[in-house]
Amino acid sequence: MSSAVSASDQKALNLIVLAIDSEQYHVIEDEDGGLQAWIKLLEHHIPNNLWARTRANRRLNALKLESGDSMQKHLQKISEMGAKISEKKS
């Protein structure tokens, strides 16, 4: 780790390391500060690229009313997936 990292940034990194699952540590192990680690985790878990948007659109198009579900629950699922797709576009 770099000596240029401030104490508060180091503390933020330590808190992130403690909060994540041990299987996720490999994503941020090379990061020097909390902000860099947070951005790396964000990019890892919420990819904002064409592939991710295409996959989300396919899931939305494949969504069907499941047996026993109400129409309201089905429409809520559609709305939630649509919101996720909109987030990926921005």
Q: Are residues 16 and 41 in the same domain?
A: yes
Q: Is residue 2 part of a domain?
A: no
Q: Is residue 1 part of a domain?
A: no
Q: Is residue 37 part of a domain?
A: yes
Q: Is residue 83 part of a domain?
A: yes
Residue 38's domain comprises: 7-45
Q: Is residue 86 pLDDT above 80, yes or no?
A: no
Separation of alpha carbons 72 and 49, rounded Å: 31
What is the model's pLDDT at position 58? 86
pTM above 0.75, yes or no: no
- Residue 88: band (very low, low, confident or very high) from pLDDT cuts 50, 70, 90: low
Count of domains observed in the chain: 2
- Residue 89: band (very low, low, confident or very high) from pLDDT cuts 50, 70, 90: low
DSSP label at residue 5: S
- Residue 16: band (very low, low, confident or very high) from pLDDT cuts 50, 70, 90: very high
